């Protein structure tokens, strides 16, 4: 794929008076000739013809994304890192409290499970990476995955914790999970009275352990 990225100057306006609009751009043509003119509201044929005649590039009633400062981007990245750290602590706390197996029967993996791979775990699994489409996890214990699942999951433990994973194929204790219900950033999946129960994992639950 070949692509290019541009930084574009945009002048956003509405047209209340067509004569004043034309006069403004006639006067300031050299300043705005390389701008993208973003016009909201009514756009008459007269103004369209004027903009074409002046070779001014314009868009009509389009909402453009607002640019973010470097500081805002860095803040968003830091918030995401903090959120991921919270999820990790929640996952570890949940395993300590609910796992019925010995601590040394916990497997922690920090690798992507790629298409075609099949992972078989006899005990509990904490997976810190994603499960790609075409990959399969067979887990006899409890399962926590902190990233997106697009492959197949077979779990026989007391519980699972999964992110929103709408493409996954999930069988929990022999019951198929409707992954459209995995709508939260982190979801707890349990089987109660032969019924799948899915509940969101909240930040406050970090104190479980």
How does residue 23 score in pLDDT terms, banded at 50, 70 and 90?
very high
Higher pLDDT residue, 185 or 104?
185
Which two structure tokens, joined as six digits, stand for 137? 């996890």
Q: How many CB atoms lie within 10 A of CB 115?
A: 13
- Report, as an integer, the average pLDDT of 185-202: 84
pLDDT 10s digits, 130-182: 999 999 999 999 999 988 899 999 999 999 999 888 889 999 998 888 888 88
How does residue 112 score in pLDDT terms, banded at 50, 70 and 90?
very high
Report how far apart, in Å, the C-alpha atoms of 30 and of each of 17, 27, 33, 46, 56 are.
21, 8, 6, 21, 11
Does residue 208 surpass a pLDDT of 60?
no
User: Which burial class, exposed, middle or buried, applies to 86 when counting CB atoms under 10 A from its CB (0-12, 13-18, 19+)?
Assistant: middle
**What pLDDT, on the 0 to 100 scale, is given for residue 83?**
75
Cα dihedral 45/47/50/54 (nearest 10): -130
Please state which CATH class domain 76-207 belongs to. mainly beta
Report how far apart, in Å, the C-alpha atoms of 89 and of each of 5, 34, 209 are.
39, 51, 10
Q: Return the minimum-mean-pLDDT range out of 110-124, 140-154, 194-208.
A: 194-208
Report helix, strand or coil for 26: helix
Cα–Cα nearest to 101, from 157, 144, 146: 157
- Report, as an integer, the average pLDDT of 119-140: 93
Cα–Cα nearest to 171, from 185, 183, 184, 157: 157
pLDDT 10s digits, 48-102: 999 999 999 999 988 877 766 677 777 878 877 777 777 777 766 666 655 444 4
How does residue 47 score in pLDDT terms, banded at 50, 70 and 90?
very high
Spans of all domains in the chain: 10-60, 76-207
**What pLDDT, on the 0 to 100 scale, is given for residue 80?**
79
**What pLDDT, on the 0 to 100 scale, is given for residue 205?**
47
């Amino acid at each position: 794929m070949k692509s290019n990225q541009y930084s574009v100057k945009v002048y956003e306006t509405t047209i209340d008076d067509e004569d004043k609009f034309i006069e403004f751009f006639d006067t300031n043509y050299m300043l705005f000739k390389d701008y993208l003119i973003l016009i909201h509201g009514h756009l008459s044929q007269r103004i369209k013809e004027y903009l074409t005649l002046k070779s001014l590039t314009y868009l009509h009633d389009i909402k453009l994304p607002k640019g973010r400062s470097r500081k805002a981007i860095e803040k968003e990245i830091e918030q995401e890192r903090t959120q991921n750290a919270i999820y990790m602590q929640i996952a570890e706390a949940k395993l300590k409290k609910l796992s019925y197996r010995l601590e040394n029967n916990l497997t922690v993996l920090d690798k992507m499970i790629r298409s075609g791979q099949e992972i078989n775990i006899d005990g509990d699994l904490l997976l810190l990476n994603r499960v790609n489409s075409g990959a399969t996890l067979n887990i006899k214990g409890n399962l926590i995955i902190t990233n997106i699942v697009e492959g197949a999951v077979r779990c026989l433990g007391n519980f699972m914790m999964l992110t929103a994973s709408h493409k996954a194929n999930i069988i929990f204790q022999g019951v198929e999970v409707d992954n459209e219900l995995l709508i939260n950033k982190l979801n707890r999946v349990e089987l109660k009275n032969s019924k799948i129960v899915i509940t969101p994992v909240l930040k406050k639950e970090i104190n479980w352990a």
